[in-house]
Structures are given as structure tokens and as C-alpha cells.
DNA sequence: AGGATCATGTAACCGGTTACATGATTAC
DNA sequence: GTAATCATGTAACCGGTTACATGATCCT
């Protein structure tokens, strides 16, 4: 139940609407957890029933009213229960359909494969740049505003960047091997 | 619809039962795609209705009869349609609840965090060994029996190993940084 | 004029997980 | 004895995706 925990975690920084939660998912933890609006609204509904969050309407003129959610004490302890309870097995589920296609690559043409590896490299490069901008914006705000969180945001973003650099290296090696191989 | 494609891909090597498909998922592509038995049986049922596969009962004595599935021509072309149709965006979905916990790590104790990073490293190390054994067994059989597939199986396993080595390095760096930091 | 942004949701569907059901043989 | 292996499935549930619905303001 990690969508729930993600929402509670973000709400632990302060009250938010469904819409603004979606933006935070996209902009700050999108590289490690994604969520759609409909999912967020549904989860907010069930969490309010359970008493993990409370809502209040903030009336606005010239744009739709806001429903602002605040985390309750039960919500905080529910979040901490999840946070401190690491699962025995720390591996995340692997379902990667790019890799599945490569696994069955012998049924593809060499040229097509190389083209796809090149697209792959391009996309990962762009993603690294995006993450570096995110990291830089955290670093800029610095310890004064973000506080103790900075080091952990650096950790997670760092892992993403390092992994991307590795898969780029891997894809380059694949291209070289493919070019040398006679298929 | 990649579970379907995974099954069709495996059936393209030869007829199989639901049970033996499960074993192949676990033993050869488990590191890039997982599937449960109930999922496989359900998918086999719908695929037979669609005409992608055909089944025949193989009677056995002293153990349950087998229902052996064979890929049809429609099945083959459905598989190739999927295989050649790479999506525009090659990124796989990221939902990693270990990372989510690290992101909110400022609410955890330093000692607990280090312990979890150490568990993480141990598990990844073990997984590398498992993959290396898998790779070695492919390599052993060699080009003569596996043929053109070998290079692609090496590619996919290689990526997994390289990524694991990277995340181990990352986790070690995190531990060092954590030990030096005063939280 | 047309699309993005702000803001809320519902409904249907689809794929993955968990639990249940059955039952013989083989290996420790 | 008991756990693993062989072999098939069904049913319920749960979480994620896609489509639908509404409507004003702001920017190009």
C-alpha cells in the first residue's frame, strides 16, 4: 500500500489538494513513484473515511474551489508504521518490456535493434539531464529550507542517475557487440 | 499486454504446459518478467479462445495429465507484431518502495537506515551470484544448442548484473555519507 | 480560435496477487 | 511424517489505467 504511504509522506510536509499532490508526484518523486489523478482522488477518499486525513474547502473566486487535505495523528502513525516496517525482501518487481523484446531479439533485424538501442540511449540521456536539474534545484534551496531531507533526496536521485549511466554504458556495449556479430 | 507476449515468445521455442511455462518464467526470464501460475492459466485460456494457441491433452500415468499448448500461426504473427512494435517511450514504470522509504529517510534513525542499506547490499550480492550462475549455464550450452539467442540472453542478464553492481556501489556510498553526517 | 492550467471527480476495465480446491508421487 | 514436485484450475480482491464529465481563466 505504497501509494497511500507516498501521499501521507507528502502530506507530512504540509496540507495539500489532490491536484497539488499530483504535481508533487510528477515533479519530485515521479522517478521513483508515479500516480494518476484518478488514483489520488480515490485514495484520498478512502483515507478520509479511515481517518488518516481531514479535508476543508478553501473557496476561491475565478477558479474552482480547493479541497485541502491535512494529515491526522492516526495518519502520521500509519505512515510511520509503514516507514519503519521494511519488507524482508527489498527487491522491487521487475517488469520491463524493453528488456523482454531484447530477450527475444534473435527474431529482430540487426539494424532495427541498433536503432532501438540508440533511441534508448537518447531517452536515458535526457532523463539524466532532467534529474540533474531536479538535484540542482534541491541543492540550491539547500539545507536551510529543506533541512534533513536534502541528503535523502540526494540519495534517491543519485541512485537514479547512476543506474541510468550504467544502462547507457550497457546499451553502448550492446551496439558494439551487435555490429561485430554476424547474425 | 506483455505477459501474453512473454508466453507466446516462450512457446515459440516449442510446446509447453502452464506448469512448465511457470518454471521458465522463474528460471530464465524471472529477472525481467514475473508471472504467477493463476495468471498464466488465465492467459492461456483467453489466448486459446482467440486462436493464438492450441492445446492437446497428454495422458500420463502416476501423475496428472498434461495440457500441452502449441503456438499457432496467428499466435506467431501476434507475437511478431508486439516484438517489432517498440513503444515511443522506452522507459519502464518505476515503483520502488525501498526508494520511497529512503526518500522519507529523515524520519528514520541513522542506525536503522544503515542496517537496511546493509541488508540491501547483501540481497543484491546474492542476486548477482544467481544471475552469474544463470549466465554460466547459458554460456556452457553455448551457441550450438541455443544458437542466435545466446547473445541476447547475455545482453539482458548483463544489464541486470551491471545495474546490481551499480546499486551496491550506491548503497555503500550512502552508508559512508550517513556515517559522516550528523542527523 | 485553441490549448494549457486549475480543480474536482466517477465508472469501467484490465492485469497482478492471494486464497482456495484437489490429489498422487517422490525424496528426506 | 512432511515437504517438495507435478499438474490443473477458480474466485475474490486490489491497485493502476483509460475514458468520461464539467467549466472557468490565461496565454499564444
Average of per-residue pLDDT across B65-76: 96
What pLDDT shows up at residue A144?
67
Cell 497428454 sits at which residue? B58
DSSP characters over chain B: -HHHHHHHHHHTTS-B-HHHHHHHHHHTSTTT----HHHHHHHHHHHHHHTSEEEEEE--SSS--EEEEEE-HHHHHHHHHHHH---S--PPP---HHHHHHHTGGGS-HHHHHHHHHHHHHHHHHHHHHHHHHHHHHHHHHHHHHTTHHHHHHHHHHHHHHHHHHHHHHHHHHHHHHHHS--
Answer for the pair A35, A22: CB distance below 8 angstroms, yes or no.
yes
- Which tens digits make up the pLDDT trace of B74-85? 999 999 999 999
CA B172 vs CA A87, B116, B122, B165, B183: distances in Å:
20, 11, 11, 11, 18
Average of per-residue pLDDT across B86-99: 93
- Is residue B183 scored above 90 in pLDDT? no
Query: Could you give the percent of chain B with pLDDT greater than 70?
Result: 98
What pLDDT shows up at residue A143?
67
The Cα–Cα gap between B20 and B12 comes to: 14
- Determine whether the interchain pair A86/B101 forms a contact, defined as Cβ–Cβ distance below 8 Å: yes
- Which tens digits make up the pLDDT trace of B130-147? 999 999 988 887 666 778
What pLDDT shows up at residue B127?
96
Q: Which ranges of chain A have pLDDT less than 70?
A: 142-144
Rounded distance in angstroms from the CA atom of residue B48 to the C1' atom of nucleotide C11 = 30
Q: What residue has its CA nearest to the C1' of D8?
A: B64
The Cα–Cα gap between B114 and B112 comes to: 6
Put simply, the chain B residues between 63 and 82 with a CB less than 8 A from any chain A CB are: 80
Residue B93 confidence class, pLDDT cut points 50, 70, 90: confident
Q: Of all nucleotides in the shown strands, which has a C1' nearest the CA of B38?
A: D9
Asked if A45 CB < 7 A from strand C, the reply is yes
- Which tens digits make up the pLDDT trace of B1-31? 899 999 999 999 999 999 999 999 999 999 9
For A136, how many CA atoms within 13 A lie in the half-sphere containing its CB? 6
Chain B touched by A37 (CB under 8 Å)? no
Reference B105, options A145, A159, A83; nearest CA is: A83
What pLDDT shows up at residue B113?
98
Residues from chain A contacting residue B93 (CB–CB below 8 Å)? 34, 95
Answer for the pair B56, B68: CB distance below 8 angstroms, yes or no.
yes
For B74, how many CA atoms within 13 A lie in the half-sphere containing its CB? 8
Rounded distance in angstroms from the CA atom of residue B74 to the C1' atom of nucleotide C1 = 47
DSSP characters over chain A: -HHHHHHHHHHTTS-B-HHHHHHHIIIIITTT----HHHHHHHHHHHHHHTSEEEEEE--SSSPPEEEEEE-HHHHHHHHHHHH---S--PPP---HHHHHHHTGGGS-HHHHHHHHHHHHHHHHHHHHHHHHHHHHHHHHHHHHHTTHHHHHHHHHHHHHHHHHHHHHHHHHHHHHHHHS--
The Cα–Cα gap between B103 and A134 comes to: 14
Residue B102 confidence class, pLDDT cut points 50, 70, 90: very high
The Cα–Cα gap between A3 and A34 comes to: 8
**Mind telling me how many Å the CA of A52 is from chain B's nearest CA?**
18
Mention every residue, 6+ apart, whose C-beta is less than 8 A from residue A35.
A3, A6, A7, A21, A22, A25
Supply φ then ψ for residue A51, to 5 degrees. 85, 10
Answer for the pair B162, A166: CB distance below 8 angstroms, yes or no.
yes
Q: Which of A5, A152, A171 should we substitute to test contact with B (largest number of B Cβ atoms within 10 Å)?
A: A152
What pLDDT shows up at residue B49?
95
- Determine whether the interchain pair B90/A100 forms a contact, defined as Cβ–Cβ distance below 8 Å: no
DSSP characters over A24-38: HIIIIITTT----HH
CB atoms inside a 10 Å sphere around CB A41: 14
pTM for this model (two decimals): 0.95
Answer for the pair A168, B114: CB distance below 8 angstroms, yes or no.
no
What pLDDT shows up at residue B62?
76
Amino acid at each position: 500500500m505504497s501509494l497511500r504511504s507516498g501521499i501521507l509522506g507528502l502530506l507530512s510536509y504540509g496540507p495539500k489538494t489532490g491536484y497539488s499532490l499530483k504535481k508533487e508526484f510528477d515533479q519530485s518523486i515521479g522517478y521513483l513513484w508515479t500516480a494518476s489523478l484518478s488514483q489520488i482522488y480515490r485514495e484520498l477518499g478512502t483515507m478520509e473515511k479511515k481517518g488518516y486525513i481531514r479535508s476543508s474547502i478553501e473557496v476561491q473566486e475565478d477558479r474552482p474551489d480547493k479541497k485541502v487535505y491535512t494529515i491526522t495523528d492516526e495518519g502520521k502513525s500509519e505512515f510511520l508504521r509503514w516507514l519503519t516496517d521494511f519488507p524482508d525482501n527489498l527487491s522491487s518487481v521487475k517488469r520491463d518490456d524493453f528488456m523482454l523484446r531484447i530477450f527475444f531479439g534473435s527474431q529482430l533485424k540487426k539494424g532495427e535493434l541498433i536503432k532501438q538501442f540508440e533511441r534508448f540511449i537518447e531517452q536515458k540521456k535526457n532523463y539524466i539531464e532532467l534529474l540533474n536539474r531536479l538535484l540542482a534545484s534541491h541543492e540550491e534551496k539547500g539545507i536551510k529550507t529543506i533541512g534533513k531531507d536534502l541528503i535523502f533526496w540526494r540519495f534517491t536521485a543519485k541512485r537514479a542517475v547512476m543506474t541510468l549511466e550504467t544502462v547507457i554504458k550497457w546499451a553502448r556495449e550492446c551496439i558494439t557487440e551487435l555490429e561485430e556479430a554476424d547474425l
